[in-house]
Amino acid sequence: MIKVGDLLARKGDPLQLELLTADVGLDREIKSPEASSPGLVLAGYTARFVGTDRIHILGETEITYLTSLDAKARRKSVETFLSYALPCVIITKAQEAPDELLAVAREKGIPIIRTRLKTAEFYRRLKPFLDDAFAPRTTVHGSLADVFGVGLLFRGRSGIGKSECVLDLVERGHRLVADDVVHVTRQGNDVLIGRGHEISRHYMEIRGVGLIDINALFGIRSVRQQKRIEVVVQLEDWDNSREYDRTGLDLQETELLDVALPLVTVPLNPGKNLTVICEVVAMNHLLRYSGVDSAHAFNERLIRRMREKGELQHYLEEDYE
């Protein structure tokens, strides 16, 4: 949830917001990512009114209706509407707020805000902010890089080489999103967006060297503010007792914020060119996304060849001439 004061502080300029009731109710909480208009509540029908947890918007239709009433009826309509514990009310198109609305709002402690934007445009701009503010989120230990346009989230134990791997990728022309701490937000049902902490963003900690500023060292093209997470790369110490996937036929997955992501486990041993492997992981993901699965294509080719050889062997065995 967010407070009305946070909405004004963060989106006051982009949404062209103007507070009409001084500092009244700025600590009220907006508890829903939805925004709606009061509808028939202004006419006195409250049986199906819901949404006391959300922002309510008065467009030209609602304000025109209120101004069409006489002062007594307008006061009654406003009192009915504001009898609910609304977080705030926003008037669009820079319309004048009826005096009764402002007076009752001050009595109830409900902030009245005005915007110069048209109603449809205001909804369009407000919705992404509310969706992001109420989106499920978490923080993971790892590094996030944009490799050939694919968001690779590197995970593994502390000191295994996640930062060094991403640094090598940056040196090869790829882009850093976040190192060590990745803030992850879910948008919609299946999109995960990762970004760095606002203080440590685009800084990396390299053991033996210290903190380095990737933006200053490699330029603005080496960093980006956020990136969709598409593949998780799990870095592990090589374990001789474990069987690692060598074909890619059985795809692994992991879940983050209830979203399934492809998982590639890369065992590390001396001499392995991890950077090139990660580039191949990204390119292979793009290839799969375009409908080409190398592992399954090779498997089908192998099965077809075995079938052809079997048919040839059967033919030779049946040839008695």
Cα–Cα distance between 49 and 52 in angstroms, integer? 8
Residues with active-site annotation = 141, 162, 180, 246
Contact 150, 231 (CB under 8 A): yes
Lowest mean pLDDT among 1-10, 45-54, 160-169: 45-54
Cα–Cα distance between 203 and 35 in angstroms, integer? 38
- pLDDT for 216 equals 94
E runs forming strands in the chain? 2-3, 17-19, 29-30, 35-36, 55-58, 89-91, 112-115, 137-141, 143-147, 150-156, 175-178, 181-187, 191-196, 203-206, 210-213, 226-228, 231-237, 252-256, 259-268
Cα–Cα distance between 225 and 197 in angstroms, integer? 10
What tens digit of pLDDT does each residue of 187-238 get? 988 999 999 998 888 999 888 899 999 999 999 999 999 999 999 999 999 8
Average pLDDT over residues 256-268: 94
Contact 265, 238 (CB under 8 A): no
- pLDDT for 317 equals 59
Cα–Cα distance between 19 and 26 in angstroms, integer? 10
Cα–Cα distance between 53 and 95 in angstroms, integer? 24
Contact 295, 264 (CB under 8 A): no
- Output the DSSP codes for 242-276: SPPPSS--S-EEEEETTEEEEEEEEEE-TT--HHH
Structure tokens at 313: 């062997």
pLDDT tops 90 at residue 283:
yes
- C-alpha gyration radius of the chain: 29
Place of tokens 């059985």: 250
How many CB atoms neighbour CB 155 within 10 A? 20
Mean pLDDT, all residues of the chain: 91
Lowest mean pLDDT among 72-81, 102-111, 312-321: 312-321
> Please, which residues have CB within 8 angstroms of residue 221's CB and are 6 or more apart in sequence?
175
Closest residue by Cα to residue 174 from 216, 230, 224? 224
Cα–Cα distance between 292 and 304 in angstroms, integer? 18
- Output the DSSP codes for 45-79: --TT---TTSEEEE-HHHHHHHHHS-HHHHHHHHH
Cα–Cα distance between 200 and 132 in angstroms, integer? 21
What is the percentage of the chain residues whose pLDDT exceeds 90? 73
Residue 210, phi-psi category: left (phi > 0), alpha (psi -120 to 50), beta (remainder): left
- pLDDT for 313 equals 60
Closest residue by Cα to residue 7 from 33, 42, 38, 39? 33
Q: How confident is the model at residue 318 (pLDDT cuts 50, 70, 90)?
A: low
- pLDDT for 242 equals 82
- Of the two residues 84 and 304, the one the predictor is more confident about is 84
- pLDDT for 124 equals 95
First and final C-alpha spacing in the chain: 85
- pLDDT for 48 equals 83
Place of tokens 């445009």: 121
